[in-house]
Structure 1
């Protein structure tokens, strides 16, 4: 037997130190992690055996066993799954550089309960066994190969890898030598209860080997999603969700459906009640697993759900996809596309039902995932109107979140446009001169404070035949567009008022244009200001002011495009300037218009 002593990667060393010295609560999760790893190993081999049946040999029944050797203070977990060779033992147990799980360290909060949740999410669950282990020995033989190898470590910075002459069939055995102060995990009843609590949803049978070497099955070994909903308790749903997502919260919404017809599949999907810490991490994997006829295929690089639904956890099990299909071929499979489309419709319909029936509960979901959901409005290939039906936005009049349908139901007579204003926060927007004329007339303005709002409105600017328009556009005339007392001929009167104002203030407009020059695109009389002196606006084809500012802050745009300056003819300062111009007393006019002052309007 040839031993090779190696040093853990720096990231593993840090994680082991945290596991052993910091995460004192919920130590039993080590069993959840090791059982999950064993189940995954069986799933991987079951998938590969569809293409290469010889990998199974004579051992065609997958199982996981757990036993206690109390005299030697050992816990042994064994599976007959895919197994590992020497290189894979080093790669999987000696380093974590291959998978981006180094980010684990960045997200640690110091809160033991929260940090323990991260263990499984980042794929470092194996190391959790060192919370109770004096040392760990892993013996493994990869399916289809002849040699067996051992991996051994006390978790203090080094490990050894060696080949072994021990007779060992395919799979992996993890032997944990339990620390002196962790005797509770050597108790048969305690350990069986832990295994049962974490394993009933697992499709691989799990057996506990007692002192008489009898095998007692601890789980039902049937995939939870294959059972009738009437036979599944809320507790079983919750445990499955937590095991699947490594989460501590309960699911906010459960969607369990068996779809029959042209395309047959079963889905068991969950929406969390808490926001995942890595929701906006670009490297974050989607968390819906694909099964084909109960055989696990993959949870990576399978386009089962769109990116804007990435907060969903769960499984999808197809009856129509062939088991021997390659993962590359899956990407362009029409059956998978139909499954994806069906899932999107189901999720949207369930969210719509929640919004209409339990708005207070829906607000909890929206506060967690509303920003992500709206990313779908920036994507092509989906009915944006259906997505907009479940979106809610801050109302400037009602001071709460409302839907676009509720906004439309409160239209003023003659109103045909949904108005919005984008900005940093609600308080700033409510004090903006851009909306004062709207609020004065009782016209609601939706307040957009999510960065994503600035992009979808540029892609999709109509909802149910109504325009969605920023109040910063230069062609808004509240007297003409919306007037609750509108009568026949009112439009003509409004047009006369515009012409009269243009004539009365023509010299003032020309004076402003002369003073400001290229700093503004145009100067015009405002038809929406009531108390403020002036504001900046853009044409219908121009970029929204706040969007332009965001792009400049991100260095994705250079200098701002000149805006239209709208002045309020009813403001005393404007009237005084205009009066002085008409009296040709221009010496009394003091105007200091600079670039910063223009930008701050």
Structure 2
């Protein structure tokens, strides 16, 4: 066998993470064992799954286990598993780099405050690297199941800037990790401490975590040292136990294992479903969003088991995209053990399981929204934009999802979305039959939009929608509880019963009186607009732009252009002018045609800028403004 030994450097992000972790997480150093055990458990799950199609991978050793030993003299702790193991390339990919989306965002959010950074590190997940919290040197020896003994790999590092990698002989499949403890960590070198840590953090692991039996004493007081191993954890899948046998702490620790998260979950649902399909679900809602939440190709999600055998984790059939933040397990008694992704795509059983689990999650959120508004506000802050996607993706549950949506409105006292559509309807004015909203890039832009002026005057509440996904929401949710959703920036203003006959008569008179100035502006703007009309929509602003009732909103058009998406051509806005505004009156009185044209274009460009639009020709706009200012000051 040719021994290959080389020294490689860590990826830059790994160096940063190691440094931060050692200094930020030291106060909770016991988690190193939990993380290493979770990795070993995952390796066992992967072997079970691959072994379904390739039973030879078990290599005459089908009993999966994790073993923990320690050596007081050498000051080492060793954790060994007989799971899937790793090849040389896998060691480099999994240990030398952080192949995880969101890495850049993670490091950008680090503040230098150890306590705050510890929470961020926990959200990001540290896994194997947590070993360096207590060890100054770590040696990992592994061989992938199915490869010859000569293909063992040994990885060694002091956690500073580099690591060594060499090919070694290893008869046993799986992975062995030896931690050479730092000075001052000797308290970990006894079986009582290690067993306590295992039972506290990893009791739920479904394969045995074994340690040597404690010493016993003979009749003459002689110490009898035992070399036998015994399981120190429950070693049964937590979700299979009765709910009244599981403590809240055990639920939380299982979440941390299955989600690779440090934070406690926000809420969870645990149920056994019987009937046409029999399955158990244990589903969690995290308290913090992962850094790869917006990566729709991400792998992690709900784990599928069949009769306690892990099958897969990456399956969009188990949970819809808008619930991609959900973590947990689904264990079916009815699916075949050789289930594949292709079978899942066409399985009615899976469809029924998914439907049932979606209803459980939505029920869990409804309970939070009704009975724990503080927790629900925390949830919305982290996952609200993702849940909104469900309005367009899940027709069957659209109404339930709509009730869970939260918004800021013109009556909000803060920028925190906390108003539901039901809240809005409960405050509607007498005679109001629509839910009014406006979409904009920011809350400030929405609050100051000219389109809101008449609504503020009449005390009518308007929802302020500023998330990018909101255009998708209002495109799919056209009404709620019998009330139509109406953009205040689309179509001619129609306040219905909110306008009395005097208002309508006054508007007719204004429109009639404004016909000459409307014609002047229409002539000046020409092809830039679909039409020009006088409006009662405005009280303080001279003009605003509106689009047709069924046309794409200006906000959505901007979003599509920013994303490089094609935008339908030929749609032009309508310019609505306020005949009572001094600028419009000045334009009506202007006798010089060139100056009148400049004023009309300035009106249009200002209206475009007021709603967050971008000028096609900023230089000409500036020239017109400068010219008008000079003429006025002359």
TM-score in same-fold range (> 0.5): yes
Pick aligned residue for 1:204 from 182, 207, 217: 207
**Separation (CA, whole Å) in 2 of partners of 1:86 and 1:572:** 77
* Structure 2 residue 60 is the aligned partner of structure 1 residue 62: no
CA distance 1:16–1:183, change in 2 (3 Å): farther
Aligned to 1:565, which of 560, 572, 575? 575
Partners of 1:294 and 1:215 lie apart in 2 by 24
Query: In the alignment, which of 550, 558, 575 is matched to residue 541 of structure 1?
Result: 550
1:235-285 C-alpha deviation (Å, 9 max, x unpaired): 111111222223332221111121211222211111122333333345543
1:129 to 122, 128, 131: 131
After superposing the two structures, state which structure 1 stretch, 55-64 or 429-438, moved more.
55-64
Q: Tell me how far apart the structure 2 counterparts of residues 162 and 196 of structure 1 sit (CA, whole Å).
A: 35
> CA separation in 1, counterparts of 2:464 and 2:87?
58
After TM superposition, the structure 1 stretch with the greater mean CA deviation from structure 2, 430-439 or 22-31, is 22-31
1:172 aligns with 2:189: no
User: Hey, what does 1:160 align to over in structure 2?
Assistant: 165
Alignment correspondent of 1:383: 397
Larger mean CA deviation between 585-594 and 194-203 belongs to 585-594
Residue-by-residue CA offset, 1:533-570 (whole Å, 9 max, x unaligned): 32221111222122233344445468995321112244
SS in 2 for 1:539: coil
Alignment of 1:183-222 (within 5 A): 183-209=186-212, 210=214, 212-222=226-236
CA contact (8 A) 1:15 1:105 kept: no
* In structure 1, C-alpha distance between the alignment counterparts of 2:38 and 2:157, rounded to whole Å: 22
Q: Corresponding residue for 1:246?
A: 260
Local SS of the residue matching 1:3: coil
Alignment equivalent of 1:344, drawn from 327, 352, 358: 358
2:432 corresponding residue in structure 1:
415
Is contact 1:150-1:163 (8 Å) kept?
Answer: yes
User: In the aligned structure 1, how far is the partner of 2:194 from the partner of 2:577?
Assistant: 77
SS at match of 1:593: helix
Using the alignment, how far apart are the partners of 1:600 and 1:15 within structure 2? 43
Give the drift of 1:594: 2.7
TM-score by length of 1: 0.87
Which residue of structure 1 lines up, in the alignment, with residue 217 of structure 2? none
- TM-score of the two chains, using structure 2 as the length reference: 0.83
- The answer on whether the counterparts of 2:521 and 2:597 sit within 8 Å (CA) in structure 1 is no
Q: Is the 8 A contact 1:118 1:246 kept in 2?
A: no
User: 1 CA distance for matches of 2:379 and 2:21?
Assistant: 36
Aligned equivalent of 1:507: 516
What residue number does 2:32 align with? 30
Aligned-pair distance for 1:88?
4.5
Paired position in structure 1 for 2:6: 6
- C-alpha contact 1:266 1:318 (8 A) present in aligned 2: yes
CA RMSD, aligned part only? 3.4
CA change 1:7–1:283 in 2 (3 A) is farther
- Gap change, CA 1:522 and 1:48, over 3 Å in 2: same
| 1:399-431, Cα deviation, whole Å (9 max, x unpaired) | 463211222233323322111012233344233
Secondary structure at the residue paired with 1:429? helix
Determine helix, strand or coil for the equivalent of 2:407. strand
Deviation at 1:314, TM superposition (A): 1.4
Distance 1:283 1:117, change over 3 A: farther
- Shift of residue 472 of structure 1? 0.8
1:362-377 matches, cutoff 5 A? 362-377=376-391
Q: Contact 1:137/1:150 (CA < 8 Å) preserved in 2?
A: no
Match of 1:80 among 76, 79, 82: 82
**Per the alignment, do residues 31 and 108 of structure 1 end up closer, same or farther by CA in structure 2, a change over 3 Å counting?**
farther
From 274, 286, 289, give the equivalent of 2:288: 274
Query: Judging changes above 3 Å, is the alpha-carbon distance between structure 1 residues 108 and 8 closer, same or farther for their aligned structure 2 residues?
Result: farther
Q: Indicate how the Cα distance of structure 1 residues 70 and 108 shifts in structure 2: closer, same or farther if over 3 A, else same.
A: farther
Which secondary structure state, in structure 2, belongs to the residue aligned with residue 258 of structure 1? strand
Higher alpha-carbon deviation: 244-253 or 17-26: 17-26
Structure 1 pair 293/10, CA: closer, same or farther in 2 (3 Å)? same
